[in-house]
Amino acid sequence: MSGKSAGDLRVRTTAAVADTRLRASLVNATDTFAERKDGATGQLADWDGLRAAGRAVRADVLAHLPDILGRFADNVLAAGGNVCWASSADDATRYIADVIARRGATEVVKSKSMTTEEIGLNHVLEAGGTRVTETDLGEWIIQLARETPSHIIVPAIHRDRHQIAEVLSQVADGDLAAVPEGLAAFAREKLRERFLAAGVGISGCNFGVADTGSVVLVTNEGNGRLVTSVPPVHIAVMGMERVVRSWDQLDLMISLLPRAATGQAITTYTSVITGPRKADETDGPEELHVVILDNGRSATLDSEFGEMLACIRCGACLNACPVYRVVGGHAYGSVFSGPMGAVYTPLLLPSQQADELPQASSLCGACWEACPVQIPLQDLLLAHRRRTSADDTSVAERLAWRAWATAWSKPRRYRTSLRAGRFGASLGFDHRGPAARWARTREAPALSKRTFRDRWEAGEV
């Protein structure tokens, strides 16, 4: 949420709604994910039971986080790796820049990581003169386009193949055809050069397994394996909440994550990295660093929003959200978008602009239904609204709500207000005055001429 004026959320959403190409790309992609997810979860006897088990695992981890994290870090060290406890984004980026400088590297390759987006790592490294190349195809596209991700697992979801061809043509000898296979082949060839030239590979970490100090990456492109094994140094950046106790807990998590994210029973690559390369191994990095990032998470854990840290970044709530599906991720103006972003961003980067995000929700609960670990996102959105309403709500709105509460707190007043409402609607007041802006993009249901009570008393129901 940087560099935007207070009114920007409305400006951004208005522009997004008017962008028919964006809306077509979003609907196309999110519908495909939803269909695949229905297929993948429909094959299971009890998807909701699995979600409940997932929620229980995440609750267990969050309740014992210091112990589990401590064991994870001990085992990373025991396996020959290094651990950095980073309390802030600055701590993390400084440590990573120091490792790169110490190794004399001038170039790094990265696999997709929202945690490195969160800490603005590319910006810091590039400002220090390091060449950074994103190697996930979607991330590379938005890096070349100088954009931020518009979806947590599909960063270039907002672009169609013609727009992608235009972006990739910037680094080609001529114009590339908008053919997905050709574009992927071009990216593969270009990125291979960067893997071989890089001195350091940087990845995220989907899960850390405390029992063995292992970093687990769940990816669909082979780039993650090249990032973590070709350069001599691998740095994994992990949000401190992304641990599990054991392989049993991991088993459940990697059953939930791909099904919820992309509708796959299993992702193409599940990579497990335990320490740097051993003497008898043929591949892997000489040096492994795990950066464990707090950056406000401890404070969140101790707050009423602690359950948000159960998030496994699957993106299912974005795909299900009727708001996200229309406006896309950039309208949120933050690294994290959709329902999870609207809850998480005000915690991560508290600001007046971030506090607007929880208002950008219909509170329909589709996000909760989609969430593989049953985070009650709509309750957390409401908690944000309660937290900020004292400051933000206008006098007129507060008076209107008070009048409504007064009117509907007694049966006689309730009936009178309905009669007044019907009369007002018959004169068109539901489309005029203060209601005009609301009604511009919505259709208020017509009030029935006879209430349920009238029909009940007449014996009709």
Residues that bind ligand SF4 (CB under 6 A): 260, 311-317, 340, 370-373, 375, 377
- Measured from the CB atom, the residue of 224 and 239 that comes closer to ligand SF4 is 239
- Measured from the CB atom, the residue of 314 and 347 that comes closer to ligand SF4 is 314
- Measured from the CB atom, the residue of 96 and 371 that comes closer to ligand SF4 is 371
CB 371 within 8 A of CB 334: no
Q: Find, among 326, 327, 383, the residue nearest to 355 by Cα.
A: 383
Nearest approach in angstroms of CB 345 to ligand SF4 is 13
Nearest approach in angstroms of CB 191 to ligand SF4 is 27
Nearest approach in angstroms of CB 348 to ligand SF4 is 14
Q: How far apart are the first and last CA of the chain?
A: 53
Nearest approach in angstroms of CB 211 to ligand SF4 is 23
Nearest approach in angstroms of CB 336 to ligand SF4 is 9
Beta strands 131-134 and 207-209, pairing class = unpaired
d(CA 448, CA 46): 41
- Measured from the CB atom, the residue of 230 and 381 that comes closer to ligand SF4 is 381
d(CA 49, CA 56): 11
- Measured from the CB atom, the residue of 93 and 150 that comes closer to ligand SF4 is 150
- Measured from the CB atom, the residue of 225 and 330 that comes closer to ligand SF4 is 330
- Measured from the CB atom, the residue of 96 and 340 that comes closer to ligand SF4 is 340
- Measured from the CB atom, the residue of 240 and 375 that comes closer to ligand SF4 is 375
Nearest approach in angstroms of CB 320 to ligand SF4 is 8
d(CA 175, CA 193): 21
Q: Find, among 324, 406, 10, 39, the residue nearest to 157 by Cα.
A: 324
Which tokens go with 142?
Answer: 């938005």
CB atoms within 10 A of CB 279: 4
Contact residues for 238 (Cβ-Cβ < 8 A; gap 6+): 115, 204, 205, 208, 215, 290, 291, 292, 293
- Measured from the CB atom, the residue of 307 and 430 that comes closer to ligand SF4 is 307
Beta strands 233-239 and 287-293, pairing class = parallel
Nearest approach in angstroms of CB 244 to ligand SF4 is 14
Nearest approach in angstroms of CB 309 to ligand SF4 is 10
Q: Find, among 374, 386, 373, the residue nearest to 346 by Cα.
A: 386
Beta strands 214-219 and 207-209, pairing class = antiparallel
CB atoms within 10 A of CB 367: 30
Q: Find, among 206, 254, 205, 198, the residue nearest to 226 by Cα.
A: 198
- Residue 59: CA atoms inside 13 Å, Cβ hemisphere, count? 10
- Measured from the CB atom, the residue of 4 and 385 that comes closer to ligand SF4 is 385
H/E run at residue 452: helix 452-457
Nearest approach in angstroms of CB 249 to ligand SF4 is 15
Nearest approach in angstroms of CB 160 to ligand SF4 is 24
